[in-house]
Amino acid sequence: MQLGDVFDNESFDVFTASVEVDRVEVDSRQCEFSTLFFALQGTTTDGAKFAAHAVDRGAVAIVATHSIKSPVPVVVMPESRIYAALTHASKILSGHPEVGIDVIGVTGTNGKTSVSVLVAQLARVLQWNGATIGTLTNERTTPAAPELYRTFARVRTDFDSQRPKSVIALEVSSHALVQHRVEGTHFSVVAFTNLSHDHLDYHHTMEDYFAAKTRLFQPEFSQRAVIWVDDPYGARLAETTSLAVAPVSRRDASDVASTLGGTVFFWRGHLVNTTLIGDYNVDNALMAMTIVSELGASDAAVAGAMSEVEAVPGRFEVVYHGEFTVIVDYAHTPQGLERLLQSVRSLSSGRVVTVFGCGGERDSAKRPVMGRVSSELSDVTIVTSDNPRGESPDAIIDAIVAGAIVSAHVVRQVDRRAAIAQAVRTAQTGDVVVVAGKGHETTQTFAESVVAFDDREVVRELVREKQC
């Protein structure tokens, strides 16, 4: 497609307008022949510094916020317009894959992945098309516009055109909102799960973090919102947004009964029987059911469909259930770990043994808080490595252990496999071992390497060894 057709509202000379482009990128390393490169201003560096590299890789035109000396045409746009232009170009050059799709935007500290996956599963059970984009599908929770719309296009190819509705649930991170990654994207429904301590290395304060999340709840993104109002930030958001709000509360579920085999409750007068486990998964289910109801499904159909949804990978995933139980969960925030362990405690007849660590080069203030949470709610806490990245694993463990209560049984084991092995080896009848922090992840990241590591597979191997 010619550049003049991509930006038909811009005034170009004949040469610039006739440049053929068929791909959009914001990362110069991904450029190839016929790429339109957007040189965006990043948090720490200006994308214009990589314009020459983009051209070397095959970029045939550049869009930037200021003039750049380049052998290819440079389109200069103000920062106030460049992100919408990026999304516009990404849509056009991906073939407008968003048309006819109900895109759902889900944001919040905890629960984004679970709610998104449940929405997609419910859609499929209802004989709609359903898919997710987020932590389980892409490297970034919320991809930049070029990757996002290519992902929309790829997902759409698997949809059945004969089905009455198509739904894609997109996890929308606070980083993505601050960095304008979804600027120009329209959502049929936007949803807020909760807000608690996380990412303060980036946002600095909870108010700034909340302000980032609230950006999604503006009329330029959507007209309808589903908000968890039991969270104080959710209650504030529901009161202040101009969008039509469907409030969701734990009061929406009655007669809740949970075991390690599943959960039953009543919602809007209908029985819900699901294999999902844990108190927080009731909240996630209520959010997902309300979203799908907002899309037009009947309450009875939604409640019935919940019986067919499956557990979300790495979210309260029961990897082994025999004389003892092992659960793998992605909980990596203080609130997430607290709710997980409270649920486990309520379902366990024996001890709770928790294995967890904290990621390196991420919000360090939450480390002692998580140490306190685990030591208060677990009979034994084994503190280990998560993804240490460029930090010292021992220094991260030091920070976690510093928050533990004095009387707690806390063990240090820097090697994650050895830590899980210790928990499995010492597990007694009725105990529940919780391996938290990495969930679905299949690698572990160190300063100089990324190695294969899946908590679930490690647990299965260690249980087999114990049974031999």
pLDDT in tens, 62-97: 999 999 999 999 999 999 999 999 999 999 999 999
Maximum separation of any 2 CA atoms in the chain, in Å: 77
Say yes or no: 183 and 129 in one domain: yes
Same domain, 280 and 148: yes
323 and 422 housed in the same domain: yes
Give 140's pLDDT tier (boundaries 50, 70, 90): confident
- Asked if residue 97 lies in contact with residue 152, where contact means CB atoms within 8 angstroms, the answer is yes
Show which of 91, 110, 135 is a domain's final residue.
91
Which among 39, 62, 91 is the end of a domain? Answer: 91
Residue 97 lies in a domain: no
Question: Quick one: pLDDT band at residue 468, thresholds 50, 70, 90?
Answer: confident
Domain co-membership, 359 together with 288: no
pLDDT at 203: 79
Check pLDDT > 90 for residue 45.
no
- Kindly state whether residues 61 and 140 are assigned to the same domain: no
Residues 163 and 296 grouped into a single domain:
yes
Instruction: Examine the pLDDT at 198 and tell me if it is beyond 90.
Output: no
User: What is the pLDDT at residue 267?
Assistant: 98
**3 state SS of 272:** strand
Mark whether 326 and 212 lie in a shared domain: no
Residue range 112-137: mean pLDDT, rounded = 96
- Which tokens belong to 311? 């557990």
- pTM of this prediction? 0.91
Q: Is the pLDDT of residue 204 over 90?
A: no
Q: Is 65 within a domain?
A: yes
**What per-residue confidence (pLDDT) applies to 286?**
98
pLDDT at residue 400, as a whole number: 98
Is the CB of residue 428 less than 8 Å from the CB of residue 322? no
Residues 288 and 326 in one domain: no
Q: Which residue has the higher pLDDT, 45 or 438?
A: 438
Share of the chain above pLDDT 90, in %: 93
Residues 185, 281, 314, CA angle at the centre, nearest 5°? 80
- What average pLDDT score do residues 142-164 get? 96
Q: Which residues contact 253 (CB under 8 A, 6 or more apart)?
A: 265, 266, 267, 272, 282, 286
Total tally of structural domains belonging to the chain: 3
Q: Give dist(CA 153, CA 147) in Å, integer.
A: 10
Asked if residue 361 has pLDDT above 90, the reply is yes
Do 331 and 217 fall within a single domain? Answer: no
pLDDT (0 to 100) of residue 28:
97
User: Which of 60, 91, 122 is a domain's end point?
Assistant: 91
Whether residue 242 sits in one domain with residue 134: yes
Q: What is the pLDDT at residue 42? A: 84
Per-residue confidence (pLDDT) for residue 9, from 0 to 100: 86
- State residue 202's pLDDT score: 81
Residues 261 and 324 occupy one common structural domain: no
Decide if 96 is inside a domain: no
For residue 190, the enclosing domain spans 102-308
